[in-house]
Amino acid sequence: MNKSILEMTKDLVKSQIEHQRLPPEILQQTLQETYASLLSLKAQEERLESGHAGHIQESQKTLAPVDWKKSITKHAITCLECGQAFKQLSLRHLSQHDMNSRSYREKFGIPRIQPLSAKETTARRREIADAIKPWELTSRALQAKEGMAKTAKQTAKRTRK
């Protein structure tokens, strides 16, 4: 059972591909992130075994900041917490990490207006919204239309007289 970290990384990523949870476009990025995570875990484990548990918190603070922009690709968004790839980061998935979208964005420095979904998914939703125009179906919008229609009728009556 003594596998190398590289073998474990390969097996994990291969399993994600087989279960269709990882699009081929982000294969290299996922391999690198998984390998780095496993190396970090191994280092923590070795420190615990040698009795230096206090250094673990310090090493976690010195890790390089994650570039969230690289986690959002055309076909997938990679969860920066666990490394899994999705079309969107749902509240259900984030709750597995005891987070919501707000805390996730704060933790990784993601702007509030940045969608937590793949670029293609965001574009498709935008197309659908533009076609449906749900903002025109609100009660306020309907009332405004009725008010404009009444005003137009009144103006037409005045001009006829």
Hey, CA dihedral for 105, 31, 121, 74, is it positive or negative? positive
Per-residue pLDDT reduced to its tens digit, 11-63? 877 777 777 677 777 777 777 777 777 777 777 777 777 765 454 454 444 45
SS3 69: helix
Residue 91 DSSP one-character state:
H
Hey, CA dihedral for 149, 154, 157, 158, is it positive or negative? negative
What is the distance of C-alpha 44 from the center of its chain?
A: 27
Nearest to 40 by CA among 87, 5, 73, 88: 5
Residue 135 DSSP one-character state:
G
Query: Would you place residue 120 in the very low, low, confident or very high pLDDT band (cuts 50, 70, 90)?
Result: very high
Per-residue pLDDT reduced to its tens digit, 56-71? 454 444 455 678 898 9
Q: What is the pTM of this model?
A: 0.49
